[in-house]
Amino acid sequence: MPQTYFTVGPSQIYPTYMQHLQTAMDLHLGSIGHRTSTFRKIYQHTTEQLRILLNIPASHAIFFTPSATEIWERILLNTVKCNSFHLVNGAFSQRFYEYAIALQKTPKLYNVNHGEGFDFSSIIIPEENELICTTQNETASGVQIPVSDLVELKKKYPSQLLCTDIVSSAPISDIDYNYIDSSFFSVQKAFGMPPGLGVWIVNEACLQKAKELEAKGMNIGAHHTLSSFYKNYQAFETPSTPNTIAIYILGKIAEDFNLIGIENIRKTSASKAKLLYNFADDNSSFQPLVTNPNHRSETVVVLNTNEDSSLFLEAMAQQGFIISSGYGKFKKSQIRIPNFPSSTEEQMAELIYAMEAEVSKK
Amino acid sequence: MPQTYFTVGPSQIYPTYMQHLQTAMDLHLGSIGHRTSTFRKIYQHTTEQLRILLNIPASHAIFFTPSATEIWERILLNTVKCNSFHLVNGAFSQRFYEYAIALQKTPKLYNVNHGEGFDFSSIIIPEENELICTTQNETASGVQIPVSDLVELKKKYPSQLLCTDIVSSAPISDIDYNYIDSSFFSVQKAFGMPPGLGVWIVNEACLQKAKELEAKGMNIGAHHTLSSFYKNYQAFETPSTPNTIAIYILGKIAEDFNLIGIENIRKTSASKAKLLYNFADDNSSFQPLVTNPNHRSETVVVLNTNEDSSLFLEAMAQQGFIISSGYGKFKKSQIRIPNFPSSTEEQMAELIYAMEAEVSKK
pLDDT per residue of chain B (362 residues) written in tens, 0 to 9: 778 999 999 999 999 999 999 999 999 999 999 999 999 999 999 999 999 999 999 999 999 999 999 999 999 999 999 999 999 999 999 999 999 999 999 999 999 999 999 999 999 999 999 999 999 999 999 999 999 999 999 999 999 999 999 999 999 999 999 999 999 999 999 999 999 999 999 999 999 999 999 999 999 999 999 999 999 999 999 999 999 999 999 999 999 999 999 999 999 999 999 999 999 999 999 999 999 999 999 999 999 999 999 999 999 999 999 999 999 999 999 999 999 999 999 999 999 999 999 999 87
**Separation of first and last alpha carbons in chain A:** 24
- What pLDDT was estimated at residue B323? 98
- What pLDDT was estimated at residue A39? 98
Which residue of chain B comes nearest to A10, CA vs CA? B31
A86, A204 Cβ separation under 8 angstroms: no
Which residue of chain A comes nearest to B190, CA vs CA? A31
Residue of A5, A34, A67 with shortest CB distance to B241: A67
Buried-exposed string A117-130: b where 16+ CB fall within 10 A, e elsewhere: bbebeeeebeeebb
Q: Do A222 and B188 touch (CB under 8 A)?
A: no
Which residue of chain B comes nearest to A24, CA vs CA? B194
Taking the complete model, does pTM exceed 0.95, yes or no?
A: yes
CA atoms within 13 A on the CB side of A87: 27
* Pairs across A and B, CB distance < 8 A: 156
From the list B230, B237, B205, B183, the residue with the least C-alpha distance to B72 is B183
Q: Which residues pair with B199 in a beta bridge?
A: B64, B185
CA angle B312, B342, B93 (to 5 degrees): 70
- Separation CA B92–CA B135 (nearest Å): 8
From the list B144, B54, B56, B129, the residue with the least C-alpha distance to B92 is B144
Q: At what angle do helices B244-260 and B262-282 cross, to 10 degrees?
A: 90
Q: Do B13 and A7 touch (CB under 8 A)?
A: no
Q: At what angle do helices A345-360 and A309-318 cross, to 10 degrees?
A: 120
B25 contact A CB<8A: yes
Contacts of A225 in chain B (CB under 8 A): 102
Contacts of B240 in chain A (CB under 8 A): 67, 69-70
- The parts of chain A modelled with pLDDT lower than 70 are none
A202, A195 Cβ separation under 8 angstroms: no
Q: Where are the alpha helices (DSSP H) in chain A?
A: 17-26, 37-54, 68-79, 91-102, 147-156, 204-215, 226-233, 244-260, 262-282, 309-318, 345-360
A21 contact B CB<8A: yes
- What pLDDT was estimated at residue B211? 97
- Separation CA A281–CA A352 (nearest Å): 12
A243 contact B CB<8A: yes
What phi-psi label fits residue A359: left (phi over 0), alpha (psi between -120 and 50 degrees) or beta?
A: alpha
Contacts of A186 in chain B (CB under 8 A): 241
- Separation CA A276–CA A351 (nearest Å): 9
Which of A28, A226, A227 has the highest number of chain B CBs within 10 A, making it the mutation to test binding with B?
A28
Residue of A13, A34, A100 with shortest CB distance to B31: A13
- Separation CA A321–CA A7 (nearest Å): 9
How many other C-beta atoms can be found within 10 angstroms of the C-beta atom of residue B126? 10
Contacts of B31 in chain A (CB under 8 A): 5, 7, 10-13, 194, 322
B residues 293-332 near A, CB within 8 Å?
322, 324
- What pLDDT was estimated at residue B362? 73
Element (H, E) at A199: strand A198-203
Q: How far is B54 from chain A (nearest CA, A)?
A: 24
Q: Do B222 and A98 touch (CB under 8 A)?
A: yes
Contacts of A33 in chain B (CB under 8 A): 7, 10, 324
Q: Do B13 and A28 touch (CB under 8 A)?
A: yes
B141, B289 Cβ separation under 8 angstroms: yes
Which residue of chain A comes nearest to B6, CA vs CA? A31
pLDDT tens for each residue of A53-85 = 999 999 999 999 999 999 999 999 999 999 999
B116, B126 Cβ separation under 8 angstroms: no
Contacts of B246 in chain A (CB under 8 A): 196
- What pLDDT was estimated at residue B136? 98
Residue of B195, B223, B245 with shortest CB distance to A70: B223
Residue type, A288: P
Q: What does each C-alpha distance from B282 to A181, A306, B112 come to in angstroms?
A: 59, 79, 27
